[in-house]
Chain A
Amino acid sequence: MALFPKVGRKQPALRLSWYTLVIFLIIGIVLHLFPFAFMIVTSLKPAEETLRMPPTAFPEEVDTAAWELMFNVVTADDTDPRVSALLREPYIVYFRNSMIQAVGSLVLSLPITAFAAYANSKLQRGRGARYTFLFFIGTLMIPAIVTLIPAFLLTRNFPFPLPQTPMIPGTETPFPVIRIWDTHWAIIIPSIFSGFNFLLFKGFFDTIPDSIIQAARVDGGSELNIFRRIVLPMSVPVFAVAAWTQFGAVWNSFLWPLVVTQSANSTPTTVAVQSLINRVLQSGATSPEQANSASVAMQRIMEAGLSWNGMMVLSIIQTIPIFIMFLICQEYLLKGIRIRGLK
């Protein structure tokens, strides 16, 4: 509460403007909650009601079939044939994989990205800093599809972007290669450095006055200690935001895990769950030739008992971990406020 004056809060004019503010924010919140309400309402509709146009505001009769399905999916209840029609392994297996990958990536990504951003913001100067900056964010400007195949080949035969391991010239022995394909590392390692979080951290570290760092240097702190003892405590909020984006990015990624994982030991939930949703959407067809096979394929899933209410439930399941992560991170965001309050 920094913008409103500390004194004179009881003045009618001030009060009025404060309440205007509150109303504005609440209207925004109501609008924002609409999609979520809609998702939940749809998930409670019976299958045929879900596609009715215009969509009904409330379910005409509440149908919890989709949620029962979700419950069975999450508890891997294999007496429900629909569960096995949708997923090959118990959901918990995919969930565990996703968790390992997202948390693994998070733990490695935050320090490595933050160190690089800190160095770029506070330790480097002039041209070097500018080139390093472009080096780190340059790949953000490349559509991911273009590097999909070379990067995928690297997971097979690092450091060679080739489908087969090449032979050492003049011998019959293949080069020693590192293969991370179909392991958790295939998801974790390429995701560790995040250009977006680099930007985020750098933007944040740039707001820390140089004078604070300078003062610490004069007091004789090593750069690592300055980072640990001074910058880190000030940066709890930005770490919280970065953790949230990193977790979400790994958790939601689809195309990359689809090609670099195949066994039940490494496949994340997106490949198992989202591929169903993707197929049903059948979006973006622009010509008659495109539609036929896609629509035959889509029909097969619908026949297996997956309808829009079920898809809503699946999207909700997919969102819950992100949502929890979001709640945790916003706790730390608020902690940042308390820390500042102590200053």
Chain B
Amino acid sequence: MSSVPTAERLPTDAPLEMPEKQTQRHPGRRRRAALLFVLPAFLLQLTWGWYPFFVAFLLSFTDARVRGPISWTGLASYERILGDPLVSKAFRVTLQYATMEIILTFTIPILVAILLMEMPRRAMRWMMVLWFLPLSPISGAILWRYMYNAQYGLMQAIATGLGFPEQQFLNSEPQVLFWLIFPAILFYGPGLIYMAALQSIPQSYYEAAEVEGAGFWRKIWTISLPRLRPIIVLMLLFSIIGSMQQFDWAQLMTGGQPNGASRTIVMYIYGTLIPALRYADAVALSVVLFLVISTLVILFRIFVNDDPDT
């Protein structure tokens, strides 16, 4: 990496500033660079991310409504939310959903991305396009609702064709979460991201391993996966955050039933609290959810190291 741009260090600029080489010896310089790099995003995140949330947070201590005067009610919303048995049920469902979704869907896109990289260049292009083709959730929901129809759906035909008794699919309380996650096992994974990351692994690493006699799986285990580690860790983080907020898919597929077995926290917020105009309660529950997810994220960051070189 010696081909560092020299054209930028024009002599006319140089005398006016300290020599560039001193940058690393001056952490202040780096800090200033960091500040400038971060600043635009910081301002945007502050005004359009945190500021509205802060306003909403304040409203959770009021009887906030869509229109008209509001008054402080202290912790009343939180008391209502924390005493509500439907909330604890929804939290249970959410945790089950998130755990199951991560266990069942997280690894396949990684594996597929690694394997796709083995294809010849031209084949890889088409396979990649076809594997990771995007589909809008609404179209997916229409399709899978057909597929899961307990009377005539294709899944039922497959199940009975294979000699199983008639299945209930989405109508089954113990199985509904599995069947909601099932389409995501093969579809809609973030494989493209892993493919992007895999490309940054220098070919020479593999060549060196081969010289040492490493086989197919060993190369995956000792090179691909460790180098992907930061991406995997962050995708896992994102999966935790995302699956804890699972909402639209389950809403479109089951509306939370049967027996509330697929009603997650965010569905309870969107489907019950907001329609009932319980805005303050909705915010209070979101704050609780935010704290739960934050705790998970912080624990995760403490226990999981994302440095590829360890």
A and B touch in the complex (CB under 8 A): yes
Contact assessment for A333 and B195 in the assembled complex, using a CB-CB cutoff below 8 Å: yes
Give 1 or 0 for each of B4-16: 1 = CB within 8 Å of chain A CB. Answer: 1100110000000
Contact assessment for A220 and B4 in the assembled complex, using a CB-CB cutoff below 8 Å: yes
Contact assessment for B131 and A190 in the assembled complex, using a CB-CB cutoff below 8 Å: no
Interface of B, secondary structure class, is: helix
Residues in chain A near residue B224, CB distance under 8 A: 3
Q: Tell me the smallest distance from the CB of B69 to a CB of chain A, in Å.
A: 12
Which of A69-77, A79-87, A192-200 sits within the interface?
A192-200
Contact assessment for B146 and A221 in the assembled complex, using a CB-CB cutoff below 8 Å: no
Contact assessment for B2 and A120 in the assembled complex, using a CB-CB cutoff below 8 Å: no
Contact assessment for B286 and A3 in the assembled complex, using a CB-CB cutoff below 8 Å: no
Residues in chain A near residue B151, CB distance under 8 A: 53
Q: Measured between alpha carbons, how far is A190 from B49 in the docked complex, in Å? A: 8
Whether, in the assembled complex, B149 has its beta carbon less than 8 Å from a beta carbon of chain A, the answer is yes
Whether, in the assembled complex, A238 has its beta carbon less than 8 Å from a beta carbon of chain B, the answer is yes
Contact assessment for A143 and B237 in the assembled complex, using a CB-CB cutoff below 8 Å: no
Q: Which residue of A lies closest to B120 (CB)?
A: A1
Contact assessment for A199 and B34 in the assembled complex, using a CB-CB cutoff below 8 Å: no
Interface of A, secondary structure class, is: helix
Question: Which of A119, A193, A219, A308 meets B49, CB within 8 Å?
Answer: A193
A residues touching B (Cβ–Cβ < 8 Å)?
1-6, 17-18, 21-22, 24-25, 28-29, 31-33, 35-36, 38-39, 53-55, 112-113, 115-116, 118-120, 123-124, 130, 132, 134-143, 145-147, 149-151, 154, 158-159, 161, 189-190, 192-193, 195-196, 198-200, 202-204, 206-209, 212, 214-226, 228-230, 234, 237-238, 240-241, 244, 248, 252, 274, 277-278, 281, 283-286, 308, 311-312, 315, 318-319, 322-323, 326-327, 329-330, 333-334, 336-337, 340-341, 343
A-B contact pairs, 13 of them (CB 8 A): A3-B219, A25-B127, A123-B37, A130-B301, A137-B237, A140-B241, A146-B53, A206-B307, A223-B23, A238-B197, A285-B255, A312-B139, A334-B121
The 9 closest A-B pairs by CB, nearest first: A220-B20, A116-B41, A237-B196, A203-B234, A284-B255, A119-B37, A206-B230, A123-B34, A150-B52
